[in-house]
Amino acid sequence: PDNLPVVSVEYGDQIRNFYSIPNFGRGFKIARHHEGKITSADEVDRTIYQKEKDDIEKLFKRFFNGPPGKVLDSKICLYTNTQSKDFLIDFHPDNDNVLILSPCSGHGFKFSSVIGEISADLLEKNESEFDLSHFSFEKHFNINAT
The helix or strand, by DSSP H or E, that contains position 33, with its residue range, turns out to be strand 29-33
The helix or strand, by DSSP H or E, that contains position 138, with its residue range, turns out to be helix 137-141
Calculate mean pLDDT across residues 115-139. Answer: 93
Calculate mean pLDDT across residues 121-131. Answer: 95
Q: How many other C-beta atoms lie within 10 A of the C-beta of residue 142? A: 7
- pLDDT of amino acid 28: 82
Q: How far apart are CA 33 and CA 35, in angstroms?
A: 6
Q: Is the pLDDT assigned to residue 103 strictly greater than 80?
A: no
Q: Is the pLDDT assigned to residue 125 strictly greater than 60?
A: yes
- Would you call 23 helix, strand, or coil by DSSP? coil
Tell me the percentage of the chain whose pLDDT exceeds 90: 23
Q: What torsion do the CA atoms of 135, 131, 35, 75 make, to the nearest 10 degrees?
A: -90
The reply to whether the predicted model has a pTM over 0.75 is no
pLDDT tens sequence across 43-90: 999 998 898 888 888 888 888 777 667 888 888 888 777 777 788 899
